[in-house]
Amino acid sequence: MTSDDDKLSAEDRLIARFFKPVATHPGALGLSDDAAFLTPPKGCDIVLKTDAIIGGVHFFAEDDAGTVARKALRVNLSDLAAKGATPLGFLVSLALPKDIGEAWLASFAEGLRADADAFSCPLFGGDTDRTPGPIMISVAMIGSVPQGSMVRRAGARAGDLVFVTGTIGDAALGLVLRKGAAWPLNEAQRAHLLSRYLLPQPRNALADTVRTYASAAMDVSDGLAGDLAKLCRVSQVAAEVEVKHVPLSDAAQAAIAADPAMLETALTGGDDFEIVCTVPPAKADSFRAAARGVGVPVAEIGCVVTGAGARFLSADGPALAFKRASFSHF
């Protein structure tokens, strides 16, 4: 006699064992179908986002699989936060080399489950494939906003104030540290930079606040300087940022003190996954108060002006000239 398990393909067994427990929404159909369904909340628009992370590019082969899973989810959650959107669920596609075994998959699935629970964002489905290359994890995120209220990159106006959440540059500096930098940091500072590279802290708690007060916003994934310039380009404005007002962690400050060239890395490096947004002056105090209310630190770093581009002004006035203003894969 043949059991039901014997009739399942290896891929079906993999999905049933590791990913079915993460697919808790009824519309996921227990991952038993070729597709899933989702009924949008009444009066809401659907917000869609997809981002992939690749072994050797966004994480190291020796990184914990559960942490890799959480990073894959969080880089997409960060985009929803900047749009003022609430996560509804996600799809995940995996391209796995042959040497990936069950222990790695079990840890990956547990990390995925932990953050799916933490962010109320269940799995709806996806795909698994073999690859001769490095691991690739692609997440397609689904969110919602009240109709017509998604915060776009367009919308900034001259006179608006520029804000960022959290601290800037920690992840980029963490990557440099991971590659062997020998700055005189204490253990807490080292741990902070390394953890910010390994595991982003998406600002989804601020989504409603961004949607209520921001005129334009985006998440900072490719470096503050380059991403703010992208926002300005779409909004057809310019921005002036005072570098002394850009929030830096104690660890980042220590790294930059040891190697001043790292200031450029902090301002232009990727993987911050903070939010940069513009807020009209009349709404600035309310924005700050609302951010305090949800426990997300925000800092005013500059203002929107007429013109084009994003200029980062040093303490004595001249704009900094960057070798490369933004991380790019190409």
pLDDT-derived band at 133 (thresholds 50, 70, 90) equals confident
Residues of the chain with CATH 3.30.1330.10: 4-146
- Judge whether 117 and 179 are in contact, CB under 8 Å: no
Which tens digits make up the pLDDT trace of 136-168?
999 999 999 999 999 999 999 999 999 999 999
DSSP assignment, residue 323?
S
pLDDT at position 32: 87
- For residues 112-134, average pLDDT: 94
pTM, two decimals, is: 0.92
Q: Which two tokens stand for residue 211?
A: 């949607």
Residues of the chain with CATH 3.90.650.10: 161-313
- Judge whether 81 and 275 are in contact, CB under 8 Å: yes
H-assigned helices in the chain: 4-7, 10-14, 65-82, 102-118, 170-178, 187-198, 207-213, 224-235, 250-258, 262-268, 284-293
Got the DSSP string for 32-55?
-SS----PPPTTEEEEEEEEEEEB
Report the half-sphere exposure of 54 (CA within 13 A, side-chain side). Answer: 6
Question: Given this structure, which CATH class describes domain 4-146?
Answer: alpha beta
Query: Which is nearest to 311 in space by CA: 263, 243, 215, 217?
Result: 243
Exposure of 306 by Cβ count < 10 A (0-12 exposed, 13-18 middle, 19+ buried)? exposed
Q: Say which residue, 133 or 1, is predicted with more confidence.
A: 133
Query: Which is nearest to 169 in space by CA: 83, 259, 49?
Result: 259
**How many C-beta atoms surround the C-beta of residue 161 within 10 A?**
19
pLDDT-derived band at 11 (thresholds 50, 70, 90) equals confident
Which tens digits make up the pLDDT trace of 196-207?
999 999 999 999
CATH code for the domain defined by 161-313: 3.90.650.10
3-state percent breakdown (helix, strand, coil) of the chain, nearest 5? 40, 25, 35
Query: Which is nearest to 327 in space by CA: 252, 234, 226?
Result: 226
